[in-house]
Amino acid sequence: MQRDIKHWPFKVINSAGKPNVQIQYKKEIKTFSLEEISAMVLGKMQETAEAYLGHKVTGTIAGLDVLRIINEPTAAAITYGLNLKEGESQIIVYDLGGGTFDVSLLSINDGVVEVLATVGDTHLGGEDFDNRVIEHLIKSYKKKTGTDVSGNLRALGKLKREVEKAKHTLSNAQSVKIEIEAFEDGNDFSEMLTRAKFEELNMDLFRKTMRPVEQVLKDAGVKKDDINEVILVGGSTRILRVQQLLKEFFGGKEPSKGINPDEAVAYGATVQGGILTGASGTEDVVLVDVCPLTLGIETTAGVMTKLIPHNTIIPTKKSQMHPTVLIQVYKGEQTMRKDNNLLGKFELSGIPPAPQGVPQIEVTFEIDANGIMEVAAADKSAGKSESITMKNEKGRLSPEDIKRMIAEAEGDNTVILVTVP
């Protein structure tokens, strides 16, 4: 986050240990939590849906009916798989969005969509490409004028918007002129950006996306010659150099462009909703998903012992004996726990002493079809047990926050949807 903050046209502040966004609106400083920003996006989605359907969409601020949590590449594969209810096909879903990157390898056989492997990078996407261009243009402007705008949030906001537009234009044109009136202190901005320069600035990042493609094939034990289709998902897959690298990697096979990369995930998620509610036309579609990252607990000397390897089919359940009463749960692929992400921890109390290092506590990991994990620890001899559920609920809005948002929304006639515990 610290690396990205310098490119954002707003401030990020610490509020009770959580990042909040601070902006100036109508000459007033306003602060929003990330959950409030998400709620505004959901409100806009409801507004868009109502405009398209021509009637109100039933819903309240206090609830979204979550039927299932589904990975984006899996949803995209469902979209593709609807037309492949006969025969077998192995596909790569290459999902390069605004801020994250995922590659999944899936098998589709007679309506059964099975995720064989998935690999990703949570910090690679279109914004990283934009930031490379922004840094280049800031340096160019300073060289021409002597003015450094890297700390000017208003100027950065203008530049960020225009750079994103320019990137989109370069998918169809060789060059684009970026012009901004009153860029800073009354001065205008004008700079030519070519597709060649854009590619030069980002080539290492484009090539970086090929490594997960290699890894997902290795994890699934599949040769690249056995891949039937490469499905493009996410707006950044419109970048021509990215498409070219994929084509070269797969020996000249053109990536599939039959699915709108911006709509594939939403369409597939809608179909999954239809499957879960028994909608007509979805009876023959079956989804088999996997756990994308390894899950484990800390054992001796700071080592993470793996209980559920990545790409394990979910739902799943795994148990192992553990010698300590403190259970620390981690997610990641590294051997040392410090290099992985701590998901949570809890402690068993009232356990009688035992020889050091002697396993006496049974730790059980259970993951449901939504990827939500429950970790339980039990000492059967002492009759003691504890558990923790990893629902990724850190920072969810409290009922008081929701009431405040309702009041503010009613005051400015804004529609907001949020989820509550």
Name residue, tokens 């998918």.
171
- What is the pLDDT, as a whole number, of residue 415? 37
Going along 207-347, which residue ranges are E strands? 229-233, 286-291, 295-298, 304-308, 312-314, 316-322, 326-331, 341-347
Segments in 146-263 forming alpha helices (H):
153-169, 195-208, 210-220, 240-249
What is Dmax (Cα atoms) for the chain?
Answer: 76
Q: Tokens 């279109």 identify what position?
A: 126
Provide CATH 3.30.30.30 ranges for the chain: 2-58+397-412
CATH 3.90.640.10 in the chain, residues? 126-204
Q: Is it true that domain 292-390 has CATH number 2.60.34.10? A: yes
Read off φ and ψ for residue 179, nearest 5 degrees: -125, 130
**What per-residue confidence (pLDDT) applies to 358?**
58
Tell whether pTM > 0.85: no
Measured between alpha carbons, how far is 269 from 69 in angstroms, rounded to an integer? Answer: 9
**Range(s) of the chain covered by CATH 3.30.420.40:** 72-123+209-289
Per-residue confidence (pLDDT) for residue 359, from 0 to 100: 52
The token duo for 203 is 């080539």
Q: Taking phi first (over 0 means left), then psi (-120 to 50 degrees means alpha), and beta for anything else, what does residue 371 get?
A: left
Q: In the chain, which residues fall in CATH 2.60.34.10?
A: 292-390
Task: Give the DSSP H/E element, type plus range, for residue 116.
Answer: strand 112-121
Quote the CA–CA distance of 27 and 12 in Å, as a whole number: 18
Nearest-5° angle of CA 158, CA 162, CA 166? 165
Residues 6 or more apart whose Cβ sits within 8 Å of residue 32: 20, 21, 22, 23
Determine if the peptide bond prior to 359 is cis (ω within 30°).
Answer: no
Alpha-carbon distance values, 44 to 72, 165, 262 (Å): 21, 21, 17
Structural tokens at position 205: 């990042």
Per-residue confidence (pLDDT) for residue 419, from 0 to 100 = 36
Residue in 371, 355, 352, 214 with CA at minimum distance from that of residue 289 = 371
Nearest CA-CA partner of 163 in 206, 201, 205: 201
Q: Are the beta carbons of 89 and 64 closer than 8 angstroms?
A: no
Q: Which amino acid is at 186?
A: G
pLDDT one digit per residue (tens) for the chain, 421 residues: 666 777 777 888 888 778 899 888 778 888 988 888 887 887 787 788 788 888 776 554 445 566 777 777 778 878 777 666 567 889 999 999 888 898 999 888 877 788 888 888 878 999 999 999 999 999 999 999 999 999 898 999 999 999 999 999 999 999 999 999 999 999 999 999 999 999 999 999 999 999 999 999 999 999 999 999 999 999 999 999 999 999 999 999 999 888 888 888 888 888 888 877 777 666 666 677 778 788 888 887 788 988 888 888 888 998 888 777 788 888 888 888 888 888 888 777 766 666 655 557 888 888 887 778 888 888 877 677 777 776 544 444 555 554 555 455 444 443 333 333 3
The CATH number that domain 72-123+209-289 falls under is 3.30.420.40
Residue 160: what pLDDT? 95
Rounded Cα–Cα distance for residues 21 and 40 (Å): 13
Domain 2-58+397-412 classification at class level: alpha beta
Cα–chain-centroid distance for residue 109? 27
Q: Does domain 126-204 have CATH number 1.10.760.10?
A: no
